[in-house]
Amino acid sequence: MSNIVLVGTQWGDEGKGRITDLLSNKAEMVVRFQGGDNAGHTVILDKNEFKLHLVPSGILNPNAVCVIGNGVVVNPMTLINELRDLESKGVRTDNLRISSNCHLIMPYHIALDSVTENSLGSLKIGTTRKGIGPAYADKAGRSGIRICDLMDPEVFKQKLSSILKIKNAILEKVYSSDAFEVEDIFNNYMQYAEILKKYVVDTAFLVNKAIDEGKNILFEGAQGTLLDIDHGTYPYVTSSSTTAGGVFSGSGIGPKRINNVIGITKSYCTRVGEGVFPTELSDKNGDYIRKKGNEYGTTTGRARRCGWFDCVTIRYAKIINNLDSLAITKLDVLTGLEKIKICTGYDIGGKIYDNVTPNCITLQKSKPVYIEVDGWDEDISDIKDFNGLPHNARKYIEILEELLSIPASMISVGPDRHQIIIRDNDLKSFLKHTD
């Protein structure tokens, strides 16, 4: 039995989808525990590309139960469209389960997200305008509407009518924006309820029962550690707990039920949206990485900002998540670079720091301290064994392990499921698991 948590160590987009897909192929349950359709995982299987926003990446494994946990906020229209797209490509979706305690993203959340972001001007956060923040704000303010409410038309309409008076007043009087009609939303959401009701269960009992039965379970995070509402580069963060700690509240399990926490990091660093980014590259190297790595957001299509590997932020993620190992993705993207830099610390006011809390005030004062290593030209896309990597590629990984004091249990050398080097025996055993 193994209960594995996958979390991003940077600002999201670390390649979690392809690692989740690989491990979920042998998992018996895959659980998404936070975020909404602002997240995006691109998974490539048999040269087919799947872009997943709400459905766990394990949906491509017909033998795995896929759970959208209570910590997720759900836009039902987005979810239904995603399910239809999967089904059109021959993917089964009857193994999906949705927590009845998930909060709903409503049309007014999306509208408020957009007008609020517009009003901030130069102080804008860079949200995806999917309504995520306003939905979580209502959840914290105890005025949210949950999926269990959606399943009861009378309760849903009563709550909708009450909250919409307030939301319409804000939209009209503060932002001079259009109001919403109760009946329009009600009728649309009743259609969604009819489609989704077959998936809705109490997932906390479901997940804990699977653990009690000794099943292999994968907990799939979205975004990354530096976007965590508590531990990220606030205010340029998301609105949920993206770290390993979010697993417990977001899926309804206790903290002693996890065996292994794996942090996902690219072999370089990327960021989408606003906020400080110490190792960001605005030169030909940044352009090279962006183009070769296809660094464009799955959800937004926005070009990702690219930079050198940042050991300071990964050390922080290691502490916050209690990481057991790293999965390093996209090592193949660095192929062809003559020299590669690694940020080993920050220079803040003339003093070098190996570890800092990455808040925006600190990062604004930070200048990256680099070491430079030799690159490699050899094609590594079909290498299955660590010792088969070119000397300089192998040395690059070994330097990262030494600087971070954490092993790299997985190294991806290409986008497909098979293009990965597994170095951890427990993971090898997990991947050999059969029912």
Q: Assess whether 435 carries a catalytic annotation.
A: no
Identify the CA nearest to 102 among candidates 133, 144, 134, 56.
Answer: 144
Q: Angle, to 10 degrees, between the axis of helix 107-119 and the axis of helix 153-169?
A: 20
Largest Cα span, the chain: 66
Side-chain half-sphere of 10: how many Cα atoms within 13 Å?
31
Q: Could you tell me which residues are beta bridge partners of residue 352?
A: 347
Quick one: CA torsion of 430, 432, 433, 435, rounded to 10 degrees?
Answer: 160
Tally Cβ neighbours within 10 Å of residue 364.
Answer: 11
**Cα-based distances in Å from 83 to 31, 36, 147, 299, 332:** 16, 15, 17, 16, 32
Identify the CA nearest to 89 among candidates 66, 130, 123, 55.
Answer: 55
* Euclidean distance between CA atoms 361 and 358, whole angstroms: 8
Cβ 12 vs Cβ 227: under 8 Å = yes
Catalytic residue among 21, 37, 41, 103: 41
Q: Could you tell me which residues are beta bridge partners of residue 200?
A: 98
Q: Assess whether 391 carries a catalytic annotation.
A: no
**Cα-based distances in Å from 387 to 12, 108, 329:** 29, 54, 17
Catalytic residue among 13, 149, 228, 332: 13
- CA–centroid distance for 192 within its chain: 25
Cβ 38 vs Cβ 128: under 8 Å = yes
Quick one: CA torsion of 392, 398, 404, 407, rounded to 10 degrees?
Answer: 140
Q: Could you tell me which residues are beta bridge partners of residue 343?
A: 310, 370
* Euclidean distance between CA atoms 154 and 297, whole angstroms: 39
Cβ 433 vs Cβ 216: under 8 Å = yes
Tally Cβ neighbours within 10 Å of residue 369.
Answer: 17
* Euclidean distance between CA atoms 285 and 193, whole angstroms: 49
Sequence-separated (6 or more) residues with CB below 8 Å from residue 47: 416
Identify the CA nearest to 414 among candidates 15, 13, 10, 50.
Answer: 15
| Residues annotated catalytic, as ranges | 13, 41
